[in-house]
Amino acid sequence: MDRFDAMKVFARIVERRSFTRAADDLALPRATVTDAIKALEARLGVRLLQRTTRTVTPTLEGEAFYGRCLRLIADVEDAESAFRDARPHGPLRIDVHGTLARHLLFPRLPDFLERYPEIELDVGEGDRYVDLVREGVDCAVRVGELRDSDLIARRLTQLPEATAASPAYCERLGTPDTIESLEAGGHVMVGFKSSSLGGLLPLEFQRHGRIELVTLPTRVRVSGADSYVGAAFAGFGIIQAPRYRLDAYFSEGRLLPLLEACPPLPSPVSIVYPRTRLPSPRLRAFIGWAQELFLPA
């Protein structure tokens, strides 16, 4: 294995914290990966990785070498692409919130695949927080305010939100017409457990230029976006969700919009990738396409 390939192996091990996972990502035998790192450490005369029975972490020298490897790998890939006039190609791992993927991303994804036929997409979707570096994910499309200082973020759009409940719920407890009537009328909410913030999210309302948070009693708590809407269908309480998910149910009469004069704040949508990893041509292609996806019609 030449020096450049050994650098790519080393970088992937640092990102995945595992020889085995790095070998799987690169489609190499585990023994080949191990031998490459041994040869690299012997050539440099330093120990790059600290190995335990459960994980692999870079030493101080390894951290410094990792940063240089990333720059060199990106430079070589860009140079080769420029001289070959090559189209972006190869595997791209992205993570997208499940409902966002199904409602907004997948319907337009054929356009991306037709534009870049040599890119192979691996799409993870879920509600949990994903550690991009540790799990070997190239980028993620995230909804909400970002707190990760080690990520570079590109804002894509803002999603309008709405408050809703089922007709059966409103028949039972009444339709609230003010924020004050929520608590005075004995209303309840479906509790949504946030994996990133911890605890239940309060209801949020905009009024007179201010944000007002209301936490109502709850008997049903969920941690998934589909379960959240499903609990509202069953009449378990009031919910707040992006309008793109709720508008069809409003039209069908399965849910009723509430307190439209005091909507929740819109939710920002961003695409993020690790600050320590220079974007590959295929990642830059996806970022550019995603920005186009959310341009105003």
CATH of the domain at 104: 3.40.190.10
Say whether both 48 and 119 belong to one domain: no
CA pair distance 179, 208, nearest whole angstrom: 12
3-class DSSP assignment, residue 258: strand
Please check whether residue 260 lies inside any domain of the structure.
yes
| pLDDT value at residue 72 | 82
Say whether both 258 and 272 belong to one domain: no
The set of residues, in sequence order, having a beta carbon less than 8 Å from that of 47 and lying 6+ positions away, is 41, 59, 61, 62
Give the domain extent around 182.
161-265
Say whether both 174 and 46 belong to one domain: no
Say whether both 211 and 74 belong to one domain: no
| pLDDT value at residue 104 | 86
Please check whether residue 90 lies inside any domain of the structure.
no
CA pair distance 118, 79, nearest whole angstrom: 18
12-to-17, 48, 116, 182, 284 alpha-carbon distances in Å? 8, 13, 24, 52, 19
CA pair distance 218, 221, nearest whole angstrom: 7
| pLDDT value at residue 82 | 57
Identify the domain boundary among 40, 57, 84.
Answer: 84
Please check whether residue 105 lies inside any domain of the structure.
yes
Tokens representing 257 are: 């919009």
Please check whether residue 255 lies inside any domain of the structure.
yes
- Specify the pTM: 0.70
| pLDDT value at residue 278 | 67
Please check whether residue 89 lies inside any domain of the structure.
no
Say whether both 254 and 289 belong to one domain: no
Say whether both 57 and 139 belong to one domain: no
Based on the structure, what is the number of domains in the chain?
3
Say whether both 57 and 197 belong to one domain: no
Say whether both 237 and 144 belong to one domain: no
Q: What angle do CA 292, 127, 272 make, to 5 degrees?
A: 40
Say whether both 207 and 186 belong to one domain: yes
Say whether both 205 and 68 belong to one domain: no
Q: What angle do CA 80, 81, 85 make, to 5 degrees?
A: 120
Identify the domain boundary among 33, 49, 84.
Answer: 84
Say whether both 218 and 172 belong to one domain: yes
| pLDDT value at residue 149 | 64
DSSP code string of 22-78? HHHHHT--HHHHHHHHHHHHHHHTS--EEE-SS-EEE-HHHHHHHHHHHHHHHHHHH
Query: Over the chain (297 residues), what is each successive 10-residue block's mean pLDDT?
Result: 90 90 90 93 93 86 86 73 68 84 89 92 75 78 76 90 97 94 93 78 93 94 91 96 94 96 93 78 90 78
Say whether both 37 and 181 belong to one domain: no
Please check whether residue 91 lies inside any domain of the structure.
no
